[in-house]
Amino acid sequence: MISRYSMIIQWSDEDQLFLVTIPEFSDRLISEEVIEILYNFSHNNCSTVMNILPSFFGN
């Protein structure tokens, strides 16, 4: 699936995690419920990627 949105992924030394910004939505307010949903979604996707990555690098 091709997305019509862009993502900026940056490491935060302060938070010790990756921050993902979607510039097309940066001017909008997001409720705490949406943040929790996005966090859970991101965490699940990150866990999946972390499980798949070793097979790409032969580890």
The β-bridge partners of 18 are: 11
What phi and psi, each to the nearest 5 degrees, are found at residue 6? -110, 160
pTM of the model: 0.45
Query: Does 2 fall in a domain?
Result: no
Number of alpha carbons in the 13 Å side-chain half-sphere of residue 39: 8
CB 22 within 8 A of CB 7: yes
How far is residue 22's CA from residue 28's CA, in Å, rounded to a whole number? 11
Query: Which residue segment(s) compose the domain that 36 sits in?
Result: 8-57
Residue 12 pLDDT > 80 = yes
Query: Does 38 fall in a domain?
Result: yes
Total tally of structural domains belonging to the chain? 1
How far is residue 54's CA from residue 25's CA, in Å, rounded to a whole number? 33
Query: Does 3 fall in a domain?
Result: no
CB 50 within 8 A of CB 28: no
What are 18-58's pLDDT values in tens digits? Answer: 777 778 877 776 666 666 677 777 777 777 777 777 777 77
